[in-house]
Amino acid sequence: MKILYSDIKKLVPGLKAIPKQMGEFLTMAGFMMDGFEEIKYQGKKDFSISLEVRHNRTDCLSVIGFANEIAAKWNLKVKLPRVGAIPASAEACPTLSFRRASVGKHELPLQKKSRNIEIVNGKYIKRVLAYEINGIQNKKSPRWLIDWLALYDMNSKNLLVDLSNYVMLLTGHPSHLLDTTKMHGKLHWDMNKKYKTITTLDGTLVNLTRDREIILRDDKNILALAGIVGGKKAELDLNTTSIIAEMAIYDPGTVRKNSSGTRVITEASTRLSRWLDPNGLDYAMDLLINLILKYCDNQKAILKKFNYYPRKYSAPKIKFDPAKPAIYAGIAIAQEEALKILKNLRFTVKKNGKHYLVLPPTDRLDVTLEEDLIEEVVRLYGFEKIPVSAVPKLEVVKNITPKVVNLAEKIRDILSILGYDEILSSPLTTKESNKLTNYTDWELVTTQNAVNEEYPDLRQSIGAGLLNQLEEYEKKNLSFIQIFEVGKIFGQIGKKYEERESLGILIYDSEKNNDINNLKNTLETILRYLGTDLINYNKSVKKPAITNPFSCYDVIVKNKPIGIIYKLKPQAASLAQRPWQLKSGKAYFAEINLTLLSDIINTFKNKTAVELTKKLVTLDANLELSKTSSVNKLIENFKKKIDRRNLWSIEIKDAFPVGNKVKYTIRVSYQELDDPEAKKLHLKLFRLNS
Amino acid sequence: MKQNIIYELKSQLHKISSEEERKFLWRKYMGKAGLIKKLLGNLGKLPKEKRKSEAVAIQKIQKEAIDLLNRKENEIKKSEFKINLEKDAEQLEYTMPKIGHLHPLTQTIRMMNNFFIEMGYSIMEGPEIETDEYCFKRLNVPEDHPARDMQDTIYIEEPNYFLRTQTSSIETRILEKYDPPFKVAFPGRAYRNEKVNKSNHFVFHQYQGVVVLKKVSLKDLFGTFNYLFQRMYGKDVIVRYRNKYYPEVEPGAGPDMQCFNCHGKGCRLCKNVGWIEMGGSGIIHPNVLRMAGIDPKKWMGFAFGLGLDRWAMAKYKITDIRTLLGGNLGYKYYENENTL
């Protein structure tokens, strides 16, 4: 929203602040100055200040709104342009109906129709104020008005339209003027029942939806999208002599939906899609009519007023403790100062026992609670007065960081030391990627309006992102890749959406120097560092489509499956366009459910320190197993048979395939045993003859 | 002849370098058939009165020869040891072991986490599939509220389930789950239905925090921010705090950092404003506390949020936001620039 310095000076007599001061105050008070320009207006030096208007301050989508702010800051009063009484009548006719509607102590006539105006469907209408004016002459606007509108980035059309825009910018209330000679019958406010399109004032054809838009129509045509834009049918021109000038307040949510649904955004819809003060229409309309009568030839002007206002808006009375702004700000703000600020902002303040009752002006619909008043005081007092250099000393509180957060951080450190690079990827992926990498029994989660239609699904495995990165790195000729990612994976089980924190690790080697055991060692380094060596592997039952099915294992920790490790096959059929294919080399992938692991880790205790009082005794044993037997299981069984206090290490020293068997050399180191004791145990363990 | 033995021995010892050669000389001079033994053997041929003095002289030669031979042995041993050491020696080759790297966003988050942990905060996370209840309603953003205009949502099941549009949804869950007092920071992803280009992405990263105690103020909030910015940008950083509107806080505030490019004068980077908006914050709205079951008469809090992507991009000189989520992100093998 732009304001002219000269306009503010007119509205705030006695203002001495220079334009930069004004701009800086408004910035700190909640309206960021994003433009400042010295200009010439009416031959004089002036300043145009552009400000961001916060979403909840619709009153400041007007010059008067900002004048109120500035007057409050410098202890001045706003002087509104004078409006004289309007010689109009409420028409008496057979169709007129009066009904007393009472809201609290206010009683208003409820005027739903007159001879020429009717509210057919008032569901989303808060207020309509309209004037029928006959016997005026539209014409070109005077120079000052054309120039003024230009400073506000608006083109002049004709006097009536220009005055309507002028009043909108000044007061914040949009109006719509219709040429009644181009209308057929009455002007109706209604819901759109039958119109498929409307041609707007700028010639654009807009598609409409039945039962969605609030419209203005006559007995034949659609004339306007209410609160948004007028139509060409009743457009004003230089020959216009009879008009209906209307201002209205609608349900802002409906105007917003209609505006975004039709993709028409105007100055009017920007204002009316937010909460505007219905009571403000009186002054705004009076000003407009006064200006029309002043500038249009009007010796024979006849005016008829129409006022539909079923429930008058009254501002809430708010209980206020003037000591609170100081508490919220953290600095001393005198109570008298707090009350003075509110009064400067046009709030009515009355003492009520120990506290005060504050009544905001009706155009401040954003103020409904005591906290809103506190904000008003502190922002006008000045945020810049709050010191920032002291480091706050807040009380010490309990640490509630969940284990999985610390776990993920430790894993990142371990992997980066081991030479892995971290990548992050989008959780939205292709159907192909999910099909290739998913190995869990859960359903897909799909978005309804993905930004990219090719990536509609949430990833079911962290492998989806790592595979994508692998493809990119292959294209860029990286020959050796070690990457990992920690992130969420998603699925649906029944009606419930599930998310898990997952770790994925991928190795790719174009020169084929690595094998799956390199990845296994990485995995075990992580798990052992975190406190467990109870790690086993089972051949996977549920395998992802991208795996070599003969080289795919579930990772088991403390008898719980927590992940998977596998070798990627060099190519895999997929759904369509991009079948998976490795250029060359070998790739391996492992995934661990960190959410599950963080539960298991809790039960581990790290007791590796021992006292060595004797030398270690190291002995070998040779075993032969079939190729299908698991030597790891065998070793686990041996471990169980040895007292942990006597076992230093047990490892496979050599493995030699012979036909369909494998000959293993197992090396065991015993601690705290003499040579004969160790030998005796060894012979017994491996059932060897002495 | 006696005089010549030592002279010749010395001369021959000077020419040899191996233990084998030395042993040969030992046998030649000291052996049973050696030269010195011969001299001793010839003593019987001498007159009686000359035998004693001659024996003393030969013993002296013998002793000297033994010394020379032993010294040579030591010398040879040292030399052989040195040769063996040289053979055993290994040369340093030019190798560059692979080291891994953490993602720029992880490094950024970690730096912020460390800061807040130092200030006594816990670190949290929360679900990315959210509901209207936690992402909007409990943040004081009802259906027809203008603040909803600001966010276009990616739905899973409209209108009930969607990808969270802000990490503030974690705040509502923390407020619900934990009894005050607490101080929590929570980095995370958020999603908005926006076109993807060099500077915008539908997936973005935020860093937020919430503090609920018996008493807090804007001064505490601004002091926290100031301390954070000084850590991030140095002690000379200039920050201002101005009033801003967010439905979930009242009063609301936002920190602006003076543009480091033009120092407040205005330039393209800061869109001629002289300041760069860094985030949002404020005192938690009483409605938000009430909806979480926390009595706003007994407890107060502040909340804050910062965008992470642009900060990480500026720090690591990444010009395209799409790089952060894979694709073009790589780590140089031969450099390890860890300038945090």
- The pLDDT of A368-392, averaged and rounded, is 95
**Separation between Cα atoms, residue B263 and residue B233, nearest integer Å:** 14
**Separation between Cα atoms, residue A338 and residue A326, nearest integer Å:** 9
A547-556 own/partner pairs: CB under 8 Å, 24+ apart: A551/A516, A555/A523, A555/A590, A555/A592
pLDDT band at A525 (very low <50, low <70, confident <90, very high): very high
Torsion angles phi and psi, residue A641, rounded to 5 = -85, -15
pLDDT at A453: 87
**Separation between Cα atoms, residue A102 and residue A640, nearest integer Å:** 87
- CATH: 3.40.50.11890, 3.30.930.10, 3.40.50.10440, 3.40.190.10. Which one for B104-339? 3.30.930.10
The verdict on A32 touching B (C-beta cutoff 8 Å) is yes
Cβ-Cβ contacts under 8 Å, A379 against chain B:
243, 251
Contact A334, A124 (CB under 8 A): no
Interface test with B, best of A377, A404, A426, A501 (most B CBs within 10 A): A426
Q: Do B120 and A451 touch (CB under 8 A)?
A: no
Q: What residues are paired with A652 via a beta bridge?
A: A666
Strands A496-509 and A586-593: antiparallel
DSSP A493-561: ETTEEEEEEEEEEEEEETT----HHHHHHHHHHHHHHHT---EEEEE-SS--TTEEEEEEEEEEETTEE
Any idea which of A322-331, A372-381, A612-621, B272-281 has the lowest mean pLDDT?
Answer: B272-281
**Residue A321, class by beta-carbon neighbours within 10 Å (0-12 exposed, 13-18 middle, 19+ buried)?**
middle
Tokens of B76: 């040879």
Sheet of A547-557, strands arranged across: A421-422, A480-493, A496-509, A586-593, A560-568, A547-557, A535-539
pTM of the model: 0.84
B122 pLDDT more than 60? yes
B340 pLDDT more than 60? no
- The pLDDT of B118-142, averaged and rounded, is 93
- A residues 317-336 closer than 8 Å to B (CB): 327-331
pLDDT at B196: 87
Q: Write the DSSP symbol of residue A396.
A: P
pLDDT at A607: 62
**Separation between Cα atoms, residue B155 and residue B77, nearest integer Å:** 84
Contact A269, A214 (CB under 8 A): no
Q: Mention every residue, 6+ apart, whose C-beta is less than 8 A from residue A645.
A: A610, A671, A672
Q: Do B99 and A488 touch (CB under 8 A)?
A: no
Distance from CA of B242 to the nearest CA of A (A): 4
pLDDT in tens, B172-222: 999 999 999 999 999 999 999 888 888 889 999 999 999 999 999 999 999
Contact B274, A24 (CB under 8 A): no
pLDDT at A579: 55
pLDDT in tens, A222-266: 999 999 999 999 999 999 999 999 999 999 989 999 998 899 999
SS3 call for A664: strand
Q: Do A388 and B223 touch (CB under 8 A)?
A: yes
**Separation between Cα atoms, residue A166 and residue A177, nearest integer Å:** 13
User: Residue B219: which of A375, A386, A399 has the nearest Cβ?
Assistant: A386
Q: Mention every residue, 6+ apart, whose C-beta is less than 8 A from residue A76.
A: A12, A13, A14, A15, A70
Measured from the Cβ of residue A520, the count of other Cβ atoms closer than 10 Å reads: 17
Q: Which residue of B has its CA nearest to A29?
A: B243
- The pLDDT of A337-366, averaged and rounded, is 96
Q: Which residue of B has its CA nearest to A389?
A: B223
Q: Which residue of B has its CA nearest to A468?
A: B327
User: Residue A28: which of B195, B242, B326 has the nearest Cβ?
Assistant: B242
Residue found under tokens 């366009």: A577
pLDDT at A113: 76
Bigger pLDDT: A226 or A513?
A226
- What mean pLDDT, rounded, does chain A reach? 89
Measured from the Cβ of residue A544, the count of other Cβ atoms closer than 10 Å reads: 24
- What mean pLDDT, rounded, does chain B reach? 89
pLDDT band at A105 (very low <50, low <70, confident <90, very high): very low
- The pLDDT of A104-132, averaged and rounded, is 77
Distance from CA of A373 to the nearest CA of B (A): 9
The verdict on A401 touching B (C-beta cutoff 8 Å) is yes
Q: Do A371 and B103 touch (CB under 8 A)?
A: no
Interface test with A, best of B171, B194, B217 (most A CBs within 10 A): B217
Distance from CA of B91 to the nearest CA of A (A): 24
Cβ-Cβ contacts under 8 Å, B286 against chain A:
369, 371
Cβ-Cβ contacts under 8 Å, A473 against chain B:
330
Selection from A74, A79, A75, A71 nearest residue A10 by Cα = A79
Q: Which residue of A has its CA nearest to B331?
A: A421
Distance from CA of A457 to the nearest CA of B (A): 10
pLDDT at B315: 80
Distance from CA of B232 to the nearest CA of A (A): 15
The verdict on A409 touching B (C-beta cutoff 8 Å) is yes
C-alpha B282: how far from chain center: 34
DSSP B73-91: HHHHHHHHHHHHHHHH--P
Measured from the Cβ of residue B294, the count of other Cβ atoms closer than 10 Å reads: 21
pLDDT in tens, A280-327: 999 999 999 999 998 987 667 778 889 999 999 999 999 999 999 999
**Separation between Cα atoms, residue B185 and residue B109, nearest integer Å:** 10
% residues pLDDT > 70 (chain A): 93
Cβ-Cβ contacts under 8 Å, A253 against chain B:
143-144
- The pLDDT of B323-332, averaged and rounded, is 81
B102 pLDDT more than 90? yes
Bigger pLDDT: B24 or A571?
B24
**Separation between Cα atoms, residue A130 and residue A307, nearest integer Å:** 6
pLDDT at A104: 37
Distance from CA of B85 to the nearest CA of A (A): 30
- The pLDDT of A486-501, averaged and rounded, is 95
A92 pLDDT more than 60? no
Cβ-Cβ contacts under 8 Å, B202 against chain A:
451
A352 pLDDT more than 80? yes
Q: Mention every residue, 6+ apart, whose C-beta is less than 8 A from residue A676.
A: none
pLDDT in tens, A20-37: 999 999 999 999 998 899
Bigger pLDDT: B146 or A55?
A55
pLDDT at A91: 42
Sheet of A2-4, strands arranged across: A2-4, A44-51, A33-41
Q: Mention every residue, 6+ apart, whose C-beta is less than 8 A from residue A227.
A: A174, A214, A248, A250, A255, A258, A259, A268, A269, A272, A273
pLDDT in tens, B20-54: 999 999 999 999 999 998 888 888 888 999 899 99
Q: Do B325 and A469 touch (CB under 8 A)?
A: no
pLDDT at B160: 86
The verdict on A519 touching B (C-beta cutoff 8 Å) is no
Q: Which residue of A has its CA nearest to B211?
A: A394
Contact A127, A138 (CB under 8 A): no
pLDDT at A93: 29
- The pLDDT of B263-277, averaged and rounded, is 82
Domain boundaries, chain B: 2-88, 104-339
Distance from CA of A93 to the nearest CA of B (A): 39
Q: Do B227 and A375 touch (CB under 8 A)?
A: no
**Element of type H or E holding B59:** helix B48-88
Cβ-Cβ contacts under 8 Å, B273 against chain A:
32-34
User: Residue B102: which of A416, A446, A501 has the nearest Cβ?
Assistant: A416
pLDDT in tens, B171-182: 999 999 999 999
Size of interface A-B (CB pairs under 8 A): 229
Selection from A621, A499, A603 nearest residue A560 by Cα = A603
pLDDT at A604: 52
Q: Which residue of B has its CA nearest to A395?
A: B213
Q: Do B100 and A449 touch (CB under 8 A)?
A: no
Contact B127, B164 (CB under 8 A): yes
A367 pLDDT more than 80? yes
A573 pLDDT more than 80? no
